Chain A
Amino acid sequence: MKNLLLISYLDIRESLRSKWFYVYAFVFGGLMGLFFISGITDSVVMGFTGLSRLLLVFMQVTIIILPIFILVTTVKSISGDRESNILEYMLSFPISLKEYYWGKFTGRFVTVFFPVFVALLIGVIWGLFKGGGSIPWGMVILYSLLILSLCLSFLGIAFFISTLVKSHDVGLGLSFAVWILLLAFIDVALIGLMMQNRVSDGAIIAIAMLNPLEAFRIGAIALFDPELTVIGPVAYYLLDTLGHGFLMLYAVLYPILIGGLFAFFGYALFRKKDLL
């Protein structure tokens, strides 16, 4: 445990000095700034105003940017260290593989989660300042949980890829493939299937909901649009089958489960395969 915290602390210190971290923090901080400047908190679109509108846009942008940032910056965590011989040196000290792997994982989680979380808090404070009224704490907490869940999900996938591949370049390629698959390709393929009427609608929706990005998206929308009107008729099926409460629980817990499973498989590979 002592060494796990040490590895985690050193990974955070290292990340705080890395250029990727500043780009990452700047992108999310900059996005918030852009929302303020463009007056999103003052606009009214589809009935959503102020804070809700700000949070909605923030979550939509997060869906696209957060996964690819996490994948690209994290995938080099093990594979990059392996390629540059850092892993060989650091693991020549009496540290267990468990402490090293999970220390890296927790350190990286802190560095990817907090910039987004802080940007969200800044948005909330700004929205409050501009729009008055009270902070929708329930929404803020649930949004934070959804972001945490998405971070863990892609962090787990990224660590799995990182231990699976020997080369950083292959890891990057695989990351882009996973990102585009989860972000768009699955949906496009499922829409195609639905149009051909070959597979039952229930099965198609079930497959779509196995995508952690989709779970996050539905959860984020359900927070301020409990009837899920923006996603059309699928909303009836989802709400009738799962109910609003279970849907929210699923949106938060399922991506965490996926991330946890991939992180664990990554750890198993890390232990079973040659380290270098």
Chain B
Amino acid sequence: MDRNRIVVEAEGVRKRFMGATVLDDVNLRISLGDRVAMMGPNGAGKTTLVRCMLGFYHIDGGSIRVAGHDPVTERVEVLRHVGFIPQLPPPVKLTLGELLNFVERSSGTPAEAIAQKAREMELDIIKHRQKPFFKLSGGMKQKLLIAIALARKSRLLVFDEPTASLDPRAREHFYELLQGIDYEHAAIYITHRAEELAGLVNREITMDLGKVVLDERV
């Protein structure tokens, strides 16, 4: 395998919370072009693993490299290459204009590129520019977060149940947008709806009790 294509490399990752093992010797490699559906029951460790990749958690054993960097000690380098969509939109009090300013200045993603992605999902950012983010409807918030993540042109896109608060029509638009992603990148979709991702993913990883129990190409 060409090491330059590896985006995520986890070896023997262990994580414990208050004595309970949440990740137990997880080994995983995700390369450019991988579109992974990450599945498993609640509490399987999917979100914890992703949070370790994003540098939110300090792991108790093993190692994780994202884009060749350590997510904790080199978080800025790692996050330059990662676009993330959380499960639920956070109640950010910034206006849309301020949020776009934050994204543009921190990650170098032009606000116009985000606005373009949002328009493709039938969301007019300009009209709502002065509105605080948390006052948008659930669907609008999620659309904007998706537009931001897609506009960032990251090497790794992480979607944590991204369609949880979208209506069926918006969900359809979202999947249409995903079809347009440059798949020289890698993507991880944490999901319980594997059937909706059919045709979008080329790999399925199933986790249970903190372990990867199934990892197959589809």
Q: Is A92 an interface residue (CB 8 A)?
A: yes
Min C-beta distance of A99 to chain B, whole Å = 9
- A94→B80 contact, CB < 8 A: yes
- B56→A88 contact, CB < 8 A: yes
The contact of B102 among A6, A17, A276, by CB within 8 Å, is A6
* CB within 8 Å: A-B pair count: 74
Q: List the B residue with the shortest CB-CB distance to A84.
A: B91
Flag B67-85 by CB within 8 Å of A: 1 or 0 each: 0000000011101101010
Chain A contacts with B in 121-177, Cβ cutoff 8 A:
none
Q: Is A86 an interface residue (CB 8 A)?
A: yes
Q: Is A2 an interface residue (CB 8 A)?
A: yes
Whether A274 touches B79, Cβ cut-off 8 Å, given contacts A3-B105, A13-B98, A14-B93, is no
- B94→A14 contact, CB < 8 A: yes
- A17→B56 contact, CB < 8 A: no
The contact of B105 among A2, A89, A90, A92, by CB within 8 Å, is A2
Per the bound structure, the CA–CA distance linking A223 and B51 in Å amounts to: 53
- B84→A10 contact, CB < 8 A: no
Q: Is A23 an interface residue (CB 8 A)?
A: no
Flag B43-77 by CB within 8 Å of A: 1 or 0 each: 00000000100111110000000000000000111
Q: Is A241 an interface residue (CB 8 A)?
A: no
Residues of chain B with a CB closer than 8 A to A96's CB: 75-76
Per the bound structure, the CA–CA distance linking A275 and B82 in Å amounts to: 17
Q: Is A197 an interface residue (CB 8 A)?
A: no
Q: List the B residue with the shortest CB-CB distance to A2.
A: B105
Per the bound structure, the CA–CA distance linking A276 and B17 in Å amounts to: 12
Count how many chain A residues have C-beta atoms less than 8 Å from C-beta atoms of the other chain: 26
Chain B contacts with A in 127-176, Cβ cutoff 8 A:
132, 145
Q: Is A18 an interface residue (CB 8 A)?
A: yes
Min C-beta distance of B189 to chain A, whole Å = 16
Whether A274 touches B76, Cβ cut-off 8 Å, given contacts A3-B105, A85-B86, A86-B91, is no
- A6→B106 contact, CB < 8 A: yes
- A95→B106 contact, CB < 8 A: yes
* A and B contact pairs by CB, cutoff 8 A, 13 listed: A6-B101, A6-B105, A6-B106, A14-B93, A17-B93, A18-B93, A85-B86, A88-B90, A89-B84, A90-B90, A91-B54, A94-B79, A275-B56
**Other than the known A92-B79, A92-B82, what 17 A-B pairs have Cβ atoms closer than 8 Å?**
A3-B106, A6-B102, A6-B105, A10-B102, A17-B93, A17-B132, A88-B51, A89-B92, A92-B54, A92-B86, A93-B107, A95-B76, A96-B75, A97-B75, A272-B58, A274-B56, A275-B55
What is B's interface to A at a CB cutoff of 8 Å? 51, 54-58, 75-77, 79-80, 82, 84, 86, 88, 90-94, 98, 101-103, 105-107, 132, 145
What is A's interface to B at a CB cutoff of 8 Å? 2-3, 6, 10, 13-14, 17-18, 84-86, 88-97, 272-276
